[in-house]
Every structure is written in structure tokens, then in C-alpha cells.
Structure 1
Amino acid sequence: MTETLGGRPATVAGYRAAEAVRVAMGGGEALRITNPTDGSLVGTVPMAGTEEVEAAVATARAAQPGWARNDVADRGVLLRAAGRRLEAAAERLAGLNHSETGRPTAEALAGVLAGAGTVAQYAELGPVNRGHSLLGGWSATDLTVPEPYGVVVALTSWNDPVAVACGLLGAALVTGNTVVHKPSERCPHTGLLLDEILNEVLPRGVLISVCGDGLIGAELAARPDVDLVVHVGSTATGRSVAAAAATTGAKALLENGGNDPLLVDGNVDPGWAAEQAAIGAFTNAGQSCTAVERIYVHQGIAEEFLAALVAQARRRVPGPRRVEDVEMGPLVDVAHRGKVHTQVTDAVRAGARCLVGGEIPEGSGARYPATVLADCTPEMLVLQEETFGPVAPVRVVSDFGQGLAEAAQGQYGLAATVLTTSMAHAQLAWRELPVGTVKVNAVFGGAPGGAARPRGASGAGYGYGPELLAEMTRLKCVHLGLGVAGPR
């Protein structure tokens, strides 16, 4: 459908353009989005220019004091209403997500519903986020009070666009910040529809969408009138955001790349371990922040494990499937597929064996098969760098100690998984792995509200959980003393 915004045509797919103050679009170059499943056109979205970026930040700045003065309980009421609207529009959002990124519809729908739940969670957590009273002098009162930063720029990712954005937007808004949100240029329609739904209940100027590519994101991150920049995405972009924030004085909150290891002990069932490895490496075509990126398996079960993992990879099929198969969508675009394939071919040239997959399919779209690499060595890129694709590189180790030592190496520190029946090995692993999250005997999962700080090149600050509210506020220390009464 085509609508007019600010006197300029805006060709979009699947969402209704909002008022100009809520969607900042320019009249110049447009983002052209194609479906990675078949290469068909999803739609085009005009990118914002410098004028639109300035107007978006200025509008958010003007709206912030009034929004912050609202009772936090009232902000929570609005967010609960927004969460209900997201649930009602879940199928529309999931359909757009599927069209733009190729994510299987069932997985996309689960992500939308998780996002709606996260918005509702922060609606409840906001009113109980509090400061502390301090023990001072008898005649005074001392306390700390959390205050919003002000204007937050949120640069969100494409691999789970609704769930990721909902956490950041929900926490920022309930704590009294206003937000300028730039969804990923790979799924702008999904991001715009999400923001439009939230804006159905929010006051004018509290949440503004800005469409654009990485240059627009860089421009937003470098603005001196922004107080907090939140980025979920690649490590390279995260470092650029951090450098810009260091110049402007803004706070940077980053969740960036990972190279998460899976350590398979020699005492586990190899078939079960292969199933866990496949879930971790191939879910969402490997395009998850905490995907399994490298596997260290004990030599005692390596042969059986590899055979079972190859069988698991063969079950991952595109499109319609048999009951025993698992649907796997394409990679987000052809350019990203090229990067994934480069790592695979580099490993094969360096001596790795490709047991299954590893070839670019014929035809349109950006599909890539579930791939298993054996005989991997530490110097290969596929073990050193984030692949972000359906690739399971396996390294055989002599014992648990060697596997743990190698799993602990590298620049990233997002998450790690250990499969073992030994409590001693589990205890040793979670203490020694230098990552924010360690999972034992399950590649995905965990209690609601869990939060961790990524380490190293994986970012800085809490990106989820109740602790995210603290990241969105800064504490002010207040001392209330008794004044001296003057003459009447």
C-alpha cells in the first residue's frame, strides 16, 4: 500500500504510516526489502535524513519532562494496554517478520508473543523499581532516587526484532525516558508496525521511529542531545556506538556478537548431545545471539556424536516438511549468506571436513543448508569469529579439561553451554567460563527475569531482566537536612 507522509509518497507493506512526528522519513534514498525465501519484493521505505533525525530527537526531548512527571503506575497502565494490542496484532507482526527476514512463521509468532509478555513484565516491574534510604544523621533524611536518563536512542536487531525491541522500549518507557527507535534496515516494516501499535496508546512524542541504514544509526548515536544509546547487533557496530558515546558523554548499553561454545563431556548420551547441539546451532538458521557457534566434544563419544549431528542436520529442511523434519528458514539476505559461506570454505581449505551442507543452493533467495564441519582447529575463523549461520564446527578434545580450556578462549563473552552428568565438571565449568551466562544440560532456557552482563567484545550492561530498569535510570543521592528558622 502507498500513503503520503509530510507531502511525500511512502511505499510500505503491511502497516499504516503514522503521523510525521512518530515516523521520521525522508524523501531521498529508500530501503528496498526483499523476501530472502524467494527474492520477491516486500516493499520500500524512505530513509530519514539529517533534518528528520534532528526533528525526531528534538520532539522526544520536548516530550520527556511531561512523560517523566506521569506517575510510574500510569505509565505501567499504558504499557499493559500496549502489550494487549501487540498480542492482538501478533499474526500481522509475525507475517511481516517472516516476509522480511525469512524466519519461520511459528518462530516469528513466538517472538512476537514473547515481546508482548516482556512489555507487560516491565509494566509491572516499573512501579516497584526504587531507590534506597540511607542511614545518616538523626536530624536528616538521606535517600537515593532513580531518575530517567532522558532521551534514549534504541538501535535494534533483525534476528528477533519484536522480542528484542520490546524489552528495550518497555524498560526505557516505563522508567520515564522517551525513545527514538531505529529498527534494523533489514526489517523496517516490522519495526514500524511494532512502533505504530505501541503508539496507539502512548502520548505524542514519547516513541518516535526513524528509518534508515547504518549511517543513520551512526548519526543518531553521535548526537550530543541524546542521553543513552542502546544497541543490539554486531560487535563492530557496537564499538562504533561506544566510541561515539564516549565523545558525547552519553551512556552506551550494548549487546553485541558472540561465539558461544558448547562443551560435550564424555559421560553423556551422544544422540541427546547431538540433538542439543543441533537446536543450538540451527534454530533460526543459526541467527541468534546465543546460538551454538563452536563445539568441543570428548574423543570417547566423538564418532557417535558426529554421526548423530549429521542426521540432525539432514532433518533441517526448507519450507514444507515431513512430521519428523524441522523447518529451517533462509539467512536474512544474500550478502549475509556470503559471509557465512566464506567461513565454511575457509575452514575446508584449512583442513576441516564438511560432513553435510556447506554448499550454496541453486535458485533465488538466501537459503543455506545446515552444515557440520569436523576436524576443526583453533586457528580457523569458524572457531574464532561469530558465524551467525547454520554451521556446527566440531573440535574433538582429549578430555574435559582440554575442552574447557579451549572453550574459555576468545574475545567474546556472551554465553556458553555444558553437557555433562558430572556435578564436579558442571561446577568447574560455570566458575571458569568467562561469559555472562552459562547453561548446563540445555542450550536454551532459563527462569524468567534472568539477567547477565556480557563480557569482552560481546558488549556491556544488562540487556534484559529487572536489572535493565537500573540501566535505564541513574541514581540521584538526596540529603534532606533541617533548616534554621529565621525571625518571624
Structure 2
Amino acid sequence: MTAMHAIDVHSPRDSQLVGWLPTATSAEVSAALSSARSVWPTWASVSAAERGEALKEAASSLRARASDLATVVETETGRPFGSAREGVLAGASTLEQYAELGPVHRGRSLLGSAVDFMVPEPRGVVVALTPWNDPVAVACGLLGAALVTGNVVVHKPSERCPHTGLLLATVLMPCFPAGVLQTLVGDGEIGGALVSSSDVDLVAHVGSTAAGRAIASVSSAKLLLENGGNDPLLVDDDVDPAWAAAQAALGAFTNAGQLCTSVERIYLHKTIAKPFLDALCAEARRWNENPQPLVDTRHRSSVHSQVADALGVGASALVGGSVPDGPGAYYPATVLADCSSAMRVMCEETFGPVAPVQLVSSFDEGLSEACSGDYGLAATVLTSSMEHAQRAWRSLPVGTVKINAVFGGAPGGAAQPRGASGTGFGYGPELLDEMTTTKVVHLGVPNGLS
């Protein structure tokens, strides 16, 4: 990487050019990291309470610009304005959460003949690489936790929403001393230059498994990775089929399936197959009345390739399953029946509005299938049996198990992904532990004193 080039962004709704932005150069990458390193000791010495106040100011500024940011998110990614604004406000709430948690983040102590105590200290320079599907909320989580614990941050937003990233920087940066928070526009080449630098102490990445593996192969820093998922939904035979279908549709079609914890594969007890599939098809048609585009046509091609592969080896498209005519990156909510575990749509991350259904003859068979695969982000189980629910959450090798609800969770919750889905806590109070390193102090008594 030596010279600047441009990133073009086209509207996923009508394919028109939204705008273009120059990427950072190698000199700008080096300068940002050097500046971050030089300002870090000063920021680390600021009290946690003062850092928390800076985050509160940032949250207030973000709320004031929520509509502006939501408009840019909608323009670049296709996420509807209302949903995009909810994401911005969630980001503000996350900053406020860390503003309160940072000052009470603490270590432990042991009292014996001497005193041993553990002190959390900032790691230093953090590189945050954030995604396009919920760009403000995810960024605020990583930036807030890093900054309140005394780290400095160089942030690279996804190249699919660079205008969003720059506007977010414009809103947040004035709340902190110069150099504490910096934003660079760039693609994977810029991200690679950042994460491979020896000047970086921690890399926090939310994005694809391929990108996460590439980061791990070149970075010597502490890694915090939330990669892709292939989240299963297991439907027992003792639940209401219409309710279960509504849950499946919500999990598979929300934000056009472009959420980290979207439902990616469904294991359905065959005794309720017909009423469930009938209801799921009705749900898909309802979602298709007001479609949301995928982020771009490149991603649409990836989604459709999995659908086409499944159709080519025996699956049936009950709803959707084809690329529509016209401009933009639209893809219909799609229901696939007759799926099998060998199909790509059942074993790879699709990240699109696709609900592939595989029939199983028992809860045990479905649980075994749900436990399979390389990913370990999340899973959902719909059942009226407490015994089945208990066995499921104990068996599923994922960071989050949801019983009888595809989305939701307590405020401040945290989880650790498994396998190809990443490593480390990506949110919640535990993220403060990830952003710090522990120093142990042994405080003894000098000879002759008591």
C-alpha cells in the first residue's frame, strides 16, 4: 500500500452513485498510529470518571445527530430510516452504559502476611474494525469500552459505509482530546496495514470469518473477534406452528437477514411440517410486500449463489429464490424446503433473507444437527419442554442460546463466540476486561517493620 485510491458507494435501492471517498495512504496510517501512541500516556492518566464524562458528552452529541446519521446509514446500506435510527440510539445508550461502568471497573485483592492486588490497566493503541450492517451501534460498543478504560483508538469503518463512519467521527471526536479517537477510511488493504502494525496493542473486529482469519494470520496484537455465524433454529413438535413460523421469519428476514445473529438454518420436526411451512410462506410474502435491499449487488450475488446451489441439488423454493429485475440490490424473503445438511445454505453463513428448512424426525436428531458445523455464535430453540430446553442449552456449542425467542436479552448481557465465530467478549461489562490487561502488585512489609 503506497498511494490513495477511491471508494465508490452506490445506493442499494436504485444503484445510483451515493458518493466517493479517498482512502487513507500508508503515510496517513503511520501518522495515525504514531499520534495515537504519543497521546496514549496522557489519556491513560485521566481519571476513569473524567473519561466517563467524555463518553456521556459523546452520547449526547450522538443523540442530537441521530436522524442525520440514520439518513446516511439508510443511503449507504439500505437499512430503513426508522431501524437505522434505532441503531444510532442504541449506540448512544451503549456509550452511556460504558460511561457508568468504566469508573467502577476494578480488580481483586488478597490479604495474607502481605497484600496482593490486581489492577486493570489500558492496553494502549486499539484498532477497531467495524461492520456495515449495524455500523453505529457496533462501533459505539467497541469505541466506548476502549476509550473509557484509557485506551486510544484508530477506527476503520467498513468500506461499504464510509460516509457513516466519517459522520460518526465528526460527532464523537470533539468530545475527546486530539488523537485519542481517529477514523481512517479504507478497504481491506488499509485494515491489513493497521492490524499488522507492531504499534497496535489490541485489534477489535466485527465482521466476516474470512476477515477475522486474515487478521489473525498477520497480527501480533491481542485479538477480539466476532466473526460470522450460521445460527440454527430448532423447532420442537410441541409448539404452535404459526407462532414458531413468525419467530423463524423474524429471525431470518429482519434487516434482510443481515444481522450477526440472524436465523440461518431451521431444523423442523416433521410432524408439524405442513402448518409451519404454510405459515412461514405467508410470513415471507408479507415481508416481501415492503422489501429491504441487501447492502450491494456483490453481496446479493453471494446470497443467491447459495440459494441456487441448494435448488440445484434438491431443495425447493416455496417463496422467492430468484434475483428480481430492476435496479438496486433487492432479494426476496425466501423459503427453501427439502434442504439437507450437505447444502451450502445449511453449513455456510448466508447473511441474507433466506430461511432454509430441514425436516427431522425427533428433537434429538434436530439437536444433533444444530450442534454441527464450524460456527458457534448463537442458536435458538422453540420448545414447550423444559427438559428439552435444558438439554439444548447445555449441548449447543455456541456463545448464546435463546429459548423461545429469536431476539432479545437482558441489558448489559455478554457472550463469547466459539469456533469459527470468533473469540472474546464483544459487548457487556466483560468487554472492559478484554480492553484491559492485569497487573498484580505484591505489597510486602519492609524488614524490621511491623
TM-score scaled by length of structure 2: 0.98
The secondary structure found in structure 2 opposite 1:163 is helix
> Which of 314, 321, 327 is residue 358 of structure 1 equivalent to?
321
1:149 paired with 2:120, answer no
2:74 aligned residue: 98
State how far apart, in whole Å, the 2-side matches of 1:465 and 1:242 are: 23
Q: Secondary structure at the match of 2:53?
A: helix
Structure 2 counterpart of 1:85: 61
State the shift of 1:485 in Å.
7.6
The residue correspondences of 1:54-453 to structure 2 (distance < 5 A) are 54-137=30-113, 140-245=114-219, 248=220, 250-317=221-288, 327-453=290-416
Greater per-residue helix proportion = 2
1:155-212 CA distance string (max 9 Å, x none): 0000000000000000000000000000000001111111211112111000000110
Q: Cα deviation per residue 1:205-251 (whole Å; 9 max; x = unaligned)?
A: 00000110001101111001100001100001101111222xx3x10
Q: Distance in 2 between matches of 1:107 and 1:410?
A: 31
Letter in 1 for 2:16: S
The letter of the residue matching 1:391 is V
Code of the aligned partner of 1:424: E
Q: What is aligned with 1:23?
A: none
Partners of 1:328 and 1:108 in 2: how far apart?
Answer: 15
Distance in 2 separating the partners of 1:352 and 1:176: 52
Amino acid at match of 2:340: T
Post-superposition Cα deviations, 1:253-306, rounded to whole Å, max 9, x if no partner, equal 000000000000000000000000000000000000000000001111011100
Per the TM alignment, residue 27 of structure 1 is displaced from its structure 2 partner at its CA by 7.0
What code does the residue aligned with 1:435 have?
V
Report Cα offsets for 1:402-440 as digits up to 9, x if no partner.
000001000000000000111111111000011000000
Provide the C-alpha distance between the structure 2 equivalents of 1:72 and 1:340, rounded to a whole number of angstroms: 45
Q: Distance in 2 between matches of 1:352 and 1:215?
A: 38
The total of aligned residue pairs comes to 448
Q: Which string of whole-angstrom CA distances, capped at 9 and with x for unpartnered residues, describes residues 334-393 of structure 1?
A: 000000000000000000000010111111110000000000001000001000000000
Using structure 1 for the length normalisation, give the TM-score: 0.90
Residue deviations 1:54-95, cap 9 Å, x none? 000001111110001001000000100110111110000100
Q: Aligned partners of 1:56 and 1:328: how far apart in 2?
A: 40
Q: In 2, distance between residues paired with 1:433 and 1:484?
A: 56
Residue of structure 1 equivalent to 2:442:
479
In the alignment, what sits opposite 1:32? 8
Amino acid at match of 1:418: V
CA deviation after TM superposition for structure 1 residue 484, in Å? 4.5
Amino acid corresponding to residue 376 of structure 1 in structure 2: C
Q: CA deviation at 1:29?
A: 1.0
SS at match of 2:131: coil
Taking the aligned partners of 2:413 and 2:235, their CA distance within structure 1 comes to 24
Q: Distance in 2 between matches of 1:136 and 1:254?
A: 38
Asked if 2 retains the 8 angstrom alpha-carbon contact of 1:104 and 1:328, the reply is no
Letter in 2 for 1:60: A
8 Å CA contact retained: 1:341, 1:358: yes
The superposition leaves residues 426-455 of structure 1 with CA deviations (integer Å, 9 ceiling, x where unpaired) of: 111000011000000000001011111000
Q: Distance in 2 between matches of 1:484 and 1:179?
A: 44
- The one-letter amino acid of 1:39's match is S
Amino acid of the residue matched to residue 130 of structure 2? Answer: T
* CA deviation map 1:102-146 (0-9, x unaligned): 001111011001000000000000001001112332xx3210000
Indicate which of 25, 36, 52 corresponds to 2:28.
52
User: In structure 2, what is the Cα distance between the partners aligned to 1:242 and 1:102?
Assistant: 30
Distance 2:68 2:110 in 1: 49
**Alpha-carbon contact 2:3-2:26 (below 8 Å) kept:** no
**Can you give the 5+ residue segments of structure 2 that lack an aligned partner in the other structure?**
none
- Classify the secondary structure of the residue corresponding to 1:331: coil
Decide whether the 8 Å contact of 1:282 with 1:328 is kept in 2: no
> Does the CA-based 8 Å contact 2:32-2:154 persist in structure 1?
yes
Question: How many Å apart are 1:482 and its aligned residue?
Answer: 2.6
Q: Distance in 2 between matches of 1:482 and 1:299?
A: 71
Judge conservation of contact 1:131–1:143 (CA < 8 Å) in 2.
yes
SS at match of 2:8: strand
